[in-house]
A and B are shown apart, each in its own frame.
Chain A
Amino acid sequence: MIRAEHVSKTFKVARRNAGFGNAVKALFHKEYTDIHALDDVSFDISGGEIVGYIGPNGAGKSSTIKILSGILVPDSGTCTVNGRTPWKERKEHVKHIGVVFGQRSQLWWDVPVGDSFELLKEIYRIDGAQYRKNVSELTDLLGLGDLLLTPARSLSLGQRMRCEIAASLLHDPDILFLDEPTIGLDAVSKLAVRSFIKTRNKERHTTVILTTHDMNDIEALAQRIILIGKGRILMDTSFAGFMKRADDAFRQNRTCGAEGEDNRLELLTASLYAEFGI
């Protein structure tokens, strides 16, 4: 369903150094550095999978998501989602995906959430009956209730995130990209979001690509893990395989930090990153 083959992407970033002298120099001559965001990335994801896409900051996760969404064009390599190239057939491709960016909202800020949903209905040309069915279903499953009458700006982060997820599913997409969906959420909201995603995947076979730093999210949801570091795919296994590998890495490098029950996953992951040198 999602296939990426030898995808590469390099960015040029202007370098700005601090200090007065450097600022004057910058007036006349700008320096650029090359950042290899993605280097020969390939993977194959089938329909109905929940994939945890992890890696340290700057590893290339957002670039991959942008390419899969059709927002970014890679320098080389091919990518198809359901037979379509995302950036070439933007409108058609985008009809079948839902994207949730953790920090940026897709809801209109000053109006009730319900109004945002109505507008999305028009944008995605969702049939009236189907829309009403989806809204009532999502409201039940995510516990939205009165939230539909509240403006987005008045919602707490947990409430807003649940509305965001609902908004991204109104048009019944086959694929859901979740970028840091539980960041900043309280425990109750996190559990609600996780259980919802799991149910959705089971009942509708929605493919879910999850990028997150929260390893508990990964543990709860991901059946498969793709680890990316410095632009390269370092690991592409099942969750069990990932845990075993991380366990081995932890045993070999015990210097990572004090072990406790609640940061065990973080420790394991950190050891793995250390082993890969990322």
Chain B
Amino acid sequence: MKNRSDPRTCRSAGGLSQYVCFFRIRFTASLQYRASALAGIVTQFAWGGMLILLFRAFYESSPAAFPMPFSALVSYFWLQQSFLTLLAPWAYNTQIMDSVQDGTVAYELCRPADLYAMWFTRNVADRCAKVCLRGLPILIAACVIPEPYSFAPPPGVQNLLLFAASAALGSLAVVAVNMLVFISAFYTTSTQGMRLLFNTTAEFLCGGIIPLPFMPAGVRTVLAFLPLGSVENTPFLIYTGYYQSTAAVQGLCVQAAWILVLIAAGRAWLARSLRRVVVLGG
């Protein structure tokens, strides 16, 4: 009899049904840890609130220097907090890296499945499941706070649609980047250093600490074209209307391009790593 809560049962499925399988498992598992979910929501809510207070102080000091309307920034921060588990580069599950470290990856290698695709799907499903539980409550709560700190609707329906597309692309892009970090686990005995390095750098590059529009022009342009810059920055700025039609579409194209490049690079690197593992044995 199939054990429905064991992730390994998802292997036999393919493509979309594999995704649904992983999603269902992760979602059910997350429901069990209600205290954890609640704590996460409270934490992110508090963090978002503090960021808003911080930027409010800057806004009141010199409103002219603000690159966007304050209410747009508020929405940006609430989106950032709600979609944290979906789009934050450092919010990945370390399961895969651990399995490479302690050798249990051998089980997965014995199966005639596309390892890259499976890991990729699993991670995307993982992030989606978590954001459903944690993200929505934050957004809902943020809607009921008194103005001007509340979460506002987008300036137009096209913003909303483009946002949805961009967020989807962003999640694919962030997982593609994460895959590269996972594959690096094949090359070291301890992943702790690599993880810390990645988390720190990624946080800064994606506009996680301050949104990209606040950075000086030169820095901003460079970062916006890097893969991480397009992960959080693009979808949120599309939503708030900072990126209008052409800029929005341009952002989507950059995201799509990076996804293709990163996936291709990731697949090639993984294939090479696996060959190396098999040759070394043990």
Residue A35, interface by CB 8 Å = no
User: B-facing mask of A5-40, CB < 8 A → 1, else 0?
Assistant: 000000000001011100110110000000000000
The complex places the Cα of A27 from the Cα of B24 at a distance, in Å, of 16
Q: How many whole Å from A17's CB to the nearest CB in chain B?
A: 10
Cα distance, A146 to B60, chains bound together (Å): 69
What residues of chain A lie closer than 8 Å to B29, measured between beta carbons? 23
Minimum Cβ distance to chain B for residue A26 (Å): 6
Per-position binary interface string of chain B over residues 8-31, scored 1 when its CB falls under 8 Å from any chain A CB and 0 otherwise: 000000000000000010001101
Contact status B5-A26, CB under 8 Å: no
Contacts of B32 in A (CB 8 A): 16, 23, 26
Chain A, interface size category, equals: under 10
CB neighbours of B4 from chain A (8 A) = 18
A27 touches B34 (CB 8 A): yes
Q: Which DSSP category, helix, strand, loop or mixed, fits chain B's interface? A: helix
Query: What distance in Å separates the Cβ of B5 from its nearest Cβ neighbour in chain A?
Result: 6
Bound complex: CA of A20 vs CA of B5, how far in Å? 10
Q: Which of B4, B5, B29, B32 has the most CB of A within 10 A?
A: B32
A107 to B282, CA, bound (A): 25
Q: Residue of A at shortest CB range from B5?
A: A18
CA distance A19 to B25 in the complex (A): 10
Report the interface size class on chain B. Answer: under 10
- Assembly CA distance A18 to B29 (angstroms): 10
Complex Cα spacing A19 to B34, Å: 15
Closest A residue, CB atoms, query B37 = A27
Within 8 A of A (CB), among B171-189: none
Chain B residues 1 to 59 lying within 8 A of chain A, measured CB to CB, are 4-5, 24, 28-29, 31-32, 34
Complex Cα gap A23–B24 (Å): 12
Determine the chain B residues whose CB is within 8 A of the CB of A18 once the complex forms.
4-5
Residues of B within 8 A of A27 (CB): 31, 34
Instruction: Select from chain A the residue with minimum beta-carbon distance to B34.
Output: A27
Chain A residue nearest in CB terms to B31: A23
Docked complex Cα distance between A12 and B153 (Å): 47
For B31, list chain A residues within 8 Å (CB).
Answer: 20, 23-24, 26-27
A16 to B5, CA, bound (A): 13
Q: Which of B5, B29, B31 lies at the interface centre, i.e. has the most chain A CB atoms within 10 A of its CB?
A: B31
In the complex, which residues of chain B have a beta carbon less than 8 angstroms from the beta carbon of A19? 28
Measured CB to CB, the nearest residue on chain B to A24 is: B31
Minimal beta-carbon separation of A15 from chain B (angstroms)? 12
Rounded to whole angstroms, the CA-CA distance of A23 and B32 in the bound complex is 6
Which residues of the other chain, A, contact B34 by a CB distance below 8 angstroms? 26-27
A26 to B30, CA, bound (A): 11
B236 to chain A, nearest CB (A): 29
Residues of A within 8 A of B5 (CB): 18
Q: How far apart sit A27 and B33, CA to CA, in the bound complex (Å)?
A: 8
- Give CA–CA (A26, B35) in the complex, Å: 11
CA gap between A20 and B31 in the complex, in Å: 9
Q: How far is the CB of B36 from chain A (nearest CB, A)?
A: 11
B53 to chain A, nearest CB (A): 31
Q: Would you give the shortest CB distance from B38 to chain A, in whole angstroms?
A: 10
CB closest chain-A residue, reference B3: A18
Q: Which residues on B sit within 8 Å (CB–CB) of A20?
A: 24, 28, 31
Residues of B within 8 A of A24 (CB): 31
| A229 smallest CB distance to B (angstroms) | 30
In the assembled complex, how far is the CB of residue A23 from the closest CB belonging to chain B, in whole angstroms? 4
Whole-angstrom CA separation of A210 from B226 in the bound complex = 61
Q: Which residues of B contact A26 (CB under 8 A)?
A: 31-32, 34
* Chain A residues within 8 Å of B24, by CB: 20
State A19–B32 Cα separation when bound (angstroms). 10
> Which chain A residue has the least Cβ–Cβ distance from B30?
A23
**Bound Cα distance A18, B1 (Å):** 15
Q: How far is it, in angstroms, between the C-alpha of A23 and the C-alpha of B28 when the chains are bound? A: 6
Chain B residues lying within 8 Å of A23, measured Cβ to Cβ, are 28-29, 31-32
A110's nearest neighbour on chain B, judged by CB, is B190
In the assembled complex, the Cα of A26 lies from the Cα of B34 at a distance in Å of 8
Separation in Å of the A121 CB from the closest CB of chain B?
Answer: 28
A70 to chain B: closest CB distance in Å? 30
Q: In the bound complex, what is the Cα–Cα distance between A267 and B29 (angstroms)?
A: 40
In the complex, what residues of B have CB within 8 A of residue A16's CB?
Answer: 32
- Output the least CB separation between A27 and chain B (Å): 5
Chain A residues with CB under 8 A of B28:
19-20, 23
Give A128 to B239 CA distance when docked, in angstroms: 70
How far is it, in angstroms, between the C-alpha of A27 and the C-alpha of B38 when the chains are bound?
Answer: 10
Query: Please, how many angstroms separate the alpha-carbon atoms of A165 and B271 in the complex?
Result: 44
Which 7 A-B pairs have CB atoms at the shortest separation, nearest pair first? A23-B31, A27-B34, A23-B28, A20-B28, A23-B32, A27-B31, A26-B32
5 contacts between A and B (CB under 8 A): A16-B32, A18-B4, A23-B29, A24-B31, A27-B34
Interface contacts beyond A20-B28, A26-B31: sample of 4 additional A-B pairs, CB < 8 Å, sorted by A: A20-B31, A23-B28, A24-B31, A27-B34
